[in-house]
Amino acid sequence: MLESLINPKRAEKGPWKMFFIGLVYASLSLLLVHWFFAGDPVLSKFSGIIVVTFAVMFSLPFMYYMIKQEEEEDEQVEGFFSVWKIHSDALYGFMWLFLGFIIAFAFWHPILNNNELFNAQIKTYCMINSPGNIEDCFVRYSPTEKITSTGAATHGKRFFSIIENNVYVMIFTLVFSLLFGAGAIFVLAWNASVISAAIGIFTKYQLTQIPLGIARYMIHGFPEIAAYFVTALAGGIFGVGILKNGIKSPQFLRVLENTIILLFVAIVLLLLAATIEVYITPLIFN
C-alpha cells in the first residue's frame, strides 16, 4: 500500500519530499520491530538487521524507479558536468531520504529504550572504535547504560582505518547495485542506522542533544553517504546499460564512460569525508 501512496515520479520532481518519506519509512521500521519482535527470544537478537530490512523493503520501489530512469537519461549525455547535471536530482533525492532515515532512527531509539533495536549497529560502532573489547563496549554504549568515554586512536591510524572501511563499503555498494540496481539501498539504510547509533552514543541518548549529534556526524556524513549514492547510481546504470544495449553498442561505451566519471567522483568524496572526520570534526566537537 505504501508504494501506491508514495509515487516515485512525484518525488523525483521535488527531491526534498524524500526527507518526509524517509522519516515515515524509518519510523515504521523501528516501531514494527519494537512491537512485533521485541518479545521474541530468537528474532529480537536480530532486531538491528530486521529494522534495516523493513526500511529497505519500503524503499525498493523508489530506488528501482530512480535507477532505471537515470540509466535512460545517462545514454544521452557525456562529459563530467553533463553527467553531474543529469544525475544531481536523483542524488539530492537519495540524500534527503537518507537524512530522513537518520533523524527518525536517532529520535525513536532513545524513546523506545530497547537495547536490541540497534544491537548490530552498536556492535559495528564498537568494532571500529574499540576492536579489542567489543562486548564490553556494547554493554557500555547501550541505551540503558551510563555512557563513559574511551580513548581514541591517533589521527593517522584513524584516517587509514576509515578509508579502508569506506572503500570496502563502496565496493560492497557497487557489487550490490550491479547485481540488483535497487539492492544498494540495503547498504545505505544500514549506514544510516549505524550513524544514528553513533549519534545516540555521542549524545548519551538525550533527545535534546540529538540536533548536536546530527550536526556532529553529518559534517562528514553527507560527503561520505553521497559517495555511496553516487556509487549505487554508477553500478545501477552500468548494470542496466549492459542488459539493455549489450557491450558492443555506442550507447554502452557512453554509459561506461559516465560510470567511470561517477566512480571517480565517489572516491574524491570519500577522501574528503575521511579528512573532515579525522582532522576537522574533532576541532569542532570534543
Q: pLDDT of 50-63, one tens digit each?
A: 999 999 888 887 77
Report the domain count for the chain. Answer: 1
Check residue 246 and report its DSSP letter.
Answer: -
Which of 95, 97, 55, 105 is closest to 210 using CA atoms?
105
Domain contains 11: no
Contact by Cβ (8 Å): 18, 93: yes
Instruction: Give the model's pLDDT for residue 269.
Output: 93
Higher-pLDDT residue of 81 and 31 is 31
Q: What percent of the chain has pLDDT over 90?
A: 14
- 206 within a domain of the structure (yes/no): yes
Position 271 scores a pLDDT of 92
| Residue 236 predicted with pLDDT over 90 | no
Residue with the larger pLDDT of the pair 103 and 135:
103
pLDDT at 9: 58
pLDDT at position 119 over 70: yes
What lies within 8 Å, CB to CB, of 57 at 6+ separation is none
Judge whether residue 120 has pLDDT over 60.
yes
Mean pLDDT, residues 243-271 taken together: 81
Averaged pLDDT score across all residues of the chain: 79
Q: Which residue has the higher pLDDT, 190 or 239?
A: 190
The pLDDT of 141-169, averaged and rounded, is: 69
Nearest to 198 by CA among 213, 220, 211: 213
- Residue 4 in any domain: the answer is no
At residue 131, the pLDDT reads 63
CA–CA distance, 36 with 28 (Å, rounded to integer): 12
Residue 147 has pLDDT above 70, yes or no: no
Backbone angles phi, psi at 12, to 5 degrees: -65, -35
Which residues neighbour 105 within 8 Å (Cβ) at sequence distance 6 or greater?
Answer: 26, 30, 51, 118, 192, 193, 196, 197
Residue 75 covered by a domain = yes
In degrees, to the nearest 5, what angle opens at C-alpha 213 toward C-alphas 210 and 217?
A: 140
The pLDDT of residue 270: 93
| Least confident piece of the model among 39-43, 44-48, 61-65, 278-282 | 61-65
Domain of residue 68, residue span: 16-284
pLDDT recorded at residue 146 = 56
d(CA 98, CA 55): 11
Confidence of residue 12 (pLDDT cuts 50, 70, 90): low
Inside any domain, residue 8: no
Residue with cell 524509518: 26
Q: Are the C-beta atoms of residues 25 and 59 closer than 8 Å to each other?
A: yes
Domain-located, residue 1:
no
Q: Which residues does 3 contact at the CB level (< 8 Å), separation at least 6?
A: 58, 61
**Nearest CA to 234 among 48, 17, 67, 88?**
67
Query: What share of the chain has pLDDT > 70, as a percent?
Result: 78
> Which of 83-87, 115-119, 196-200: highest mean pLDDT?
196-200
C-alpha cell at 142: 547501550
pLDDT at 32 over 80: yes
191 within some domain: yes
What the block records as the C-alpha cell of 215 is 550536526
192-220 confidence digits (pLDDT tens): 999 998 898 888 888 888 889 888 888 88
Instruction: Look at residue 2 and tell me if it is in a domain.
Output: no
Tell whether the model's pLDDT for residue 285 goes beyond 80. no
Contacts of 162 (CB under 8 A, 6+ apart): 274, 277, 278
